[in-house]
Homo-oligomer: A and B are copies of this chain.
Amino acid sequence: MRQSKLFGKTEKTDRVDVSSISHRLLVKGGFIRESVAGRYYFLPLGLRVHQKITNIIKEEMDKAGAQEMVSPILHPLELWQESNRDNAGNFGLMMIEDRRGGKFALGGTAEEMFVDVVRKFQISYKDLPFNIYQFSNKFRDELRARGGLLRVREFVMKDAYSFDRDENDFLHTYKLMSETYENIFSRMGLKANKVLADNGYIGGEYCHEYIVDCEAGESAYLVSEDESYKAHEDVAQVELPHCNPDEPIRDMQTIEQPEWVKDMADNQKHYGEPLWRYLKNVVYKRIDTGEIIIVTIRGDLEVNKAKLEKLVGAIELLEPATDDDLRSIGTKPGFVHAWGLQATYVADNSLKTVTNFIGGQKTESTDTTFVNYGRDFSHPIEADVVLAKPGQINSDVKKISLRRGIEVGNIFQLGTHYTDKMQGATFRDKDGQMKPFYMGCYGIGVGRAMATVVELYNDEKGIKWPESIAPFAVHLVSLQNDDPEIKDWADGLYSTLVSRGVDVLYDDRELRAGEKFADSDLLGIPIRIVAGRKAKEQKKYEVVYRSSGELFYWSEEELLNNLLGG
């Protein structure tokens, strides 16, 4: 490809509105352009990378015996009603009606569609297992898009759905997909951690996320030093030791408290006690029913919303309560009581680790102290809803640390979560009985994987693509090509490379050398060959490897031998 003809240009300056390294470099290098927030054009260079990733995923999926097919993007809403997923809450399901009154969801994930196509066939146990997958556009009505391709509203996802006879068979499939994912990510240069995670809106009993460590990521997980334990903060269970086991229990008292004491910091200032000593109330509202939920928790801890949503059966349905919500139950910010309000109360397990709490019934001038959970108040729901931190994890697992990263894929056990709900999603087993399929599903967002590679492979000058997914293998940069003799000669080398099957981008533009090199570094093609007067005269090409910075001077013969692995 001649760069003079390439649609999409590099930019000299950084955009101010970019929010991650990959966003900045992909836009600057002419790989992508934003349409509106969270929706991107893939320009020719960007699409080449996208397609190379797609090919890697396809090769590895096929190698694992999975079969590619494709479902419509508009999903009949009645299917989502069958699985009770049409009330999607904050999952961001978009819906549309056609002019004949047909209602559809824009595919966000496609469990129902794949179950629906499978149940159109008479399947026997002999046909099992199978694993079918697609690459297709997915839509998420995200409230907040960010980081360029890291969190978008429209993207291509590979989503696979496996159908097994029972749990035992499924475990083989799950393991196979796990190995397949490791191969996929490793081929594109990513070390992805398999992390136990929350299945949220998808359902099923367990799942794992593949997380690439990276500061730009939104996923936090806890990991042991030997990496045998990896759990997302949404599922990591904590074990909290008692804070003051030796303190004698005292009688609850109502005490005077100045009006300015409102939040945890005020409490600390006023009482001089550590944060764990105070009762904290965190208030949520269910967006579907309006129900108010108050979590009472130790003052030094945070609530993990995902744990809470799962606990109360409100996946993607909780939002922080607003001041108006508090007023609706007769209170206001800073004055939420730990008991007695018209709300659903949840007690975090941490309430059992403190003797003599301060707080719980704050008024304008008083509060309670020496409050003890179980004696002075107790809640109908008790559970671990803590946002886990390294120090709180099970003491058997040593040296836990917290890492941040980008979720580049996930695998889910679904079991019969869908096939129990959707009628006729069954196969005829050996004993003649009709049984529900035992399912799993497996997703990878292609654009996010691409951005993740850029987050990891870059320097101050630009991208350093791994060979496997680089838009081109070789960047041939001609210099002094306003001189027809040199131009012809460089054109000749380009033709030779093309005819030998080298995947080459040829910078034949008439620009200063500095500009061309800057663009070349920015684009990040793995090998740069310089063809100018010097190379012509000396019959040696300067060859630079973008990643390592290694520099060689090669004759044409050496060049071809090295490029073609001859």
Q: Chain A: residues with CB nearer than 8 A to chain B?
A: 4-9, 33, 35-36, 39-44, 46-47, 50, 65, 67-76, 92, 94-96, 98-100, 102, 106, 113, 116-117, 120-122, 126, 130, 132, 136-137, 139, 141, 143, 153-154
Contact = CB atoms under 8 A, between A and B. Distances in A.
A35 to B, nearest CB: 5
A9 B44 contact: no
Given A39-B74, A76-B36, A121-B8, A69 B98 contact: no
Closest 4 CB pairs of A and B: A39-B72, A44-B67, A96-B96, A42-B70
21 contacts: A4-B126, A5-B65, A5-B67, A7-B67, A9-B121, A35-B71, A35-B72, A35-B76, A39-B74, A41-B117, A42-B69, A44-B68, A44-B69, A46-B69, A47-B69, A50-B70, A72-B154, A73-B73, A74-B153, A95-B96, A98-B141
B69 A132 contact: no
A106 B117 contact: no
A36 B102 contact: yes
Contact of A7 (B39, B69, B139): B69
A490 to B, nearest CB: 19
Contacts of A106: 96
Nearest to A1: B67
Contact of A132 (B33, B44, B141): B44
Nearest to A45: B69
A115 to B, nearest CB: 12
Contacts of A154: 72-74
A514 to B, nearest CB: 20
Given A98-B94, A116-B35, A139 B74 contact: yes
A7 B132 contact: yes
Q: Which of A4, A72, A121 has the most CB of B within 10 A?
A: A72
A101 to B, nearest CB: 11
Given A41-B117, A96-B106, 12 more contacts: A5-B130, A7-B69, A35-B76, A35-B113, A41-B71, A43-B117, A44-B68, A47-B69, A72-B154, A73-B139, A95-B96, A99-B143
Nearest to A79: B35
